[in-house]
């Protein structure tokens, strides 16, 4: 039996991001629930977030972001042979989001599966895409993080409705010619299933629940070592990073982990301010924005760190396209 | 080895300066975290974790609501060191 023919390494060609049109500010929320703009900004760091239209689905947003990444990549639909969608907020269990998204984008019969690793989903999907290319299971992968958290949120619960939001981000991953041209570093991933009860949705009739203080404590203690391990495995010092893009869970968590990396010159993504917490979409949305604005240049090393319900986490160093 | 109150205060001052940006010399025993130092419960979690590492004591989440002033933390560290 033959072995698959893979590639020496994998790299990212392009990013694409999509945010729904509707903006919901802290003032909008304060009109109907007991909260304030000042409280939300200081505790979570959000000024406004985007909420999908009632009939706008996870697949809709994934198609929008995926289409943008594909257009920016220089690849055509015919080049893509695997589509992975990271999501935990899809409307129904089957069919999966990825097969539908592939079809709607005009990608013909690729492999298609969804990943549920909550807010770590994009990093898990990126690692899986890199592995597929290197091992020879795929030549080019469309990786998408897409979430409609708003349809799982209790809009009268001020502990959650101020945080969660909607959006999608995507990347096109393909082979690198040589090992030196690698653009996706080794993943450091893991889980803490003993904390499964800390962030959950009990069943299809339930809302998202989060034990905020415990999650804050875990995130601000357990994750800097993961980030450092991902840097070490990539052979990149934190001080060499152009940017750090952690999941945009809460600006206080982002700042705490960034501080622990002791790399004052690196840019720290703060997309949450105008995007809210979009789970697996938050990292690719931030990366898409950094690319569009030119905030981080082509070839620069960036550390991405996803973490969330499960609890799950994953980090890797990537090279900006 | 026992730490003096002054040593714990100095250590706390460093932690609070780094986490909350409050200059260490403004961290005095009688000050309340919330009212005097403008430190909210999220920063308290970070401060407690850093204090755990620095002073070798356990400060669980449900203890945090009892730690209202700087002196409360110093006393807690001293009590925990004794029973360790």
Q: What is the pLDDT of residues A55-73, one digit of tens each?
A: 999 999 999 999 999 999 9
Q: What is the pLDDT of residues A121-145, one digit of tens each?
A: 999 999 999 999 999 999 999 999 9
pLDDT band at B1, cuts 50/70/90? low
Whether B84 shows a pLDDT value over 80: the answer reads: no
Taken in order of first residue, the domains within chain A and their CATH numbers are: 9-180 (3.40.47.10), 183-319 (3.40.47.10)
Of A187-191, A304-308, B51-55, the least confident: B51-55
Nearest to A220 among B41, B46, B61 (CB): B46
Looking at chain A, the whole-number percentage of residues with pLDDT higher than 90 is 99
Q: Would the CB atoms of A259 and B42 count as touching at under 8 Å?
A: no
pLDDT band at B2, cuts 50/70/90? confident
Q: Would the CB atoms of A217 and B18 count as touching at under 8 Å?
A: no
Q: What is the CATH number of domain B5-83?
A: 1.10.1200.10
- Confirm if A248 and A254 have CB atoms less than 8 A apart: yes
Nearest to B45 among A42, A220, A259 (CB): A220
pLDDT of residue B82: 73
- Using the Cβ of A135 and the Cβ atoms of chain B, whether some distance falls under 8 Å is answered with no
Residues of chain A contacting B49 with CB distance shorter than 8 Å: 217, 220-221
- Using the Cβ of B14 and the Cβ atoms of chain A, whether some distance falls under 8 Å is answered with no
**Residue A230 corresponds to which tokens in the numbers above?**
């991902």
pLDDT band at A267, cuts 50/70/90? very high
Whether A279 shows a pLDDT value over 70: the answer reads: yes
Nearest to A213 among B18, B49, B61 (CB): B61
Determine the Cα–Cα distance for residues A110 and A4; give it in Å rounded to an integer: 17
**Which H or E element spans position A133?**
helix A121-135
Q: What is the pLDDT of residues A71-84, one digit of tens each?
A: 999 999 999 999 99
Is A96 annotated in the active site? no
- Confirm if B45 and A217 have CB atoms less than 8 A apart: yes
Q: What is the pLDDT of residues A212-258, one digit of tens each?
A: 999 999 999 999 999 999 999 999 999 999 999 999 999 999 999 99
- Using the Cβ of A104 and the Cβ atoms of chain B, whether some distance falls under 8 Å is answered with no
pLDDT band at A313, cuts 50/70/90? very high
Residues of chain A contacting B43 with CB distance shorter than 8 Å: 252
**Residue A316 corresponds to which tokens in the numbers above?**
């890797």
Specify the DSSP class assigned to residue A201: E
Determine the Cα–Cα distance for residues A139 and A7; give it in Å rounded to an integer: 9
Determine the Cα–Cα distance for residues B61 and A213; give it in Å rounded to an integer: 8
Residue written as token pair 């994934």:
A62
Kindly state the average pLDDT of the residues A306-315.
Answer: 98
- Confirm if A256 and A263 have CB atoms less than 8 A apart: no
pLDDT of residue A53: 98
Q: Would the CB atoms of A252 and B41 count as touching at under 8 Å?
A: no
pLDDT of residue A104: 98
């Amino acid at each position: 039996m033959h072995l698959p023919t893979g590639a020496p390494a994998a790299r990212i060609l392009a990013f694409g991001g999509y945010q729904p049109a509707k903006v919901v500010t802290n003032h909008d929320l304060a009109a109907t629930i007991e909260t304030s703009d000042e409280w939300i900004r200081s505790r979570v760091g959000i000024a406004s977030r985007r909420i999908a239209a009632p009939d706008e689905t996870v697949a809709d947003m994934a198609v929008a972001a995926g289409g943008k990444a594909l257009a920016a990549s220089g690849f055509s639909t015919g080049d893509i042979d695997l589509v992975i969608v990271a999501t935990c907020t899809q409307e129904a269990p089957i069919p999966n989001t990825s097969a539908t998204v592939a079809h709607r984008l005009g990608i013909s019969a690729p492999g298609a599966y969804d990943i549920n690793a909550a807010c770590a989903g994009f990093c898990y999907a990126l690692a899986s895409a890199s592995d597929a290319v290197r091992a020879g299971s795929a030549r080019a992968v469309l990786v998408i993080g897409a979430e409609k958290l708003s349809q799982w949120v209790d809009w009268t619960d001020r502990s959650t409705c101020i945080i969660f939001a909607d959006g999608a981000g995507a990347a096109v991953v393909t082979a690198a010619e040589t090992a030196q041209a690698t653009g996706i570093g080794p993943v450091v991933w893991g889980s803490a299933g003993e904390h499964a009860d800390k962030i959950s949705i009990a069943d299809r009739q339930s809302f998202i629940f989060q034990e905020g203080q415990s999650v804050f404590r875990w995130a601000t203690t357990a994750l800097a070592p993961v980030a450092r391990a991902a840097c070490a495995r990539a052979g990149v010092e934190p001080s060499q990073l152009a940017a750090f893009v952690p999941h945009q869970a809460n600006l206080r968590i982002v700042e705490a982990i960034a501080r622990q990396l002791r790399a004052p010159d690196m840019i720290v993504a703060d997309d949450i301010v105008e995007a809210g917490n979009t789970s697996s979409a938050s990292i690719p949305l931030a990366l898409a924005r950094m690319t569009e604005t030119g905030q981080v240049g082509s070839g620069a090393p960036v550390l991405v760190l996803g973490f969330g319900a499960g609890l799950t986490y994953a980090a890797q160093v990537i090279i900006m396209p | 080895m026992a730490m003096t109150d002054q040593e714990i205060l100095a250590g706390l001052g460093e932690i609070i300066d780094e986490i909350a940006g409050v200059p260490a010399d403004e961290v005095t025993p009688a000050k309340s975290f919330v009212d005097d130092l403008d430190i909210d419960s999220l920063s308290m979690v970070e401060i407690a974790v850093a204090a755990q590492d620095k002073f070798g004591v356990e400060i669980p989440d449900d203890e945090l609501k009892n730690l209202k002033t700087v002196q409360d933390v110093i006393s807690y560290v001293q009590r925990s060191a004794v029973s360790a």
